Chain A
């Protein structure tokens, strides 16, 4: 176990709705990265937060946003859901900014109908 937890495990939403996914990092891990993994694909980088500030973003529209809190928890918010947003959403925490020590959570499976 990586010590990274995510909630909920599964979620079903309809097109146009908004969703909030949650991640709890390991204590002391100041960096959290979020990835989207569509079925049959590898994870794609959404964005990264370091000490509560966004410090890097992938090719995702602004309706994907996030927050990181001082208690090592974080959120991924997606507005105006589209069918293509159906995927497994993974968070990964790390003590610093390097990618060699990212620990992934089990993911949240989002289905958009």
Chain B
């Protein structure tokens, strides 16, 4: 089944404790992206990647890192999480040129 998977689905952590949210797709998509969704602000793009070893900042990249060492994986790294990073995070992927984005189920992160 074609899908985008994220892990973990739920995470509660404390300020400053490094964490990684994994994202994996099995559709051989070149493009992958991370978004955060907050009430009243909608979805905002954090980082995106157009292919292996190619990443770019989205609208809200501060406090986040990403890497794209393999085509299927695009982890989101929070080196020192803060409470303002409490949010619902989505990973998405698509074929370049085909454009239809496929979204993962979301990761709800709480930073206390």
Asked if A and B bind, the verdict is no
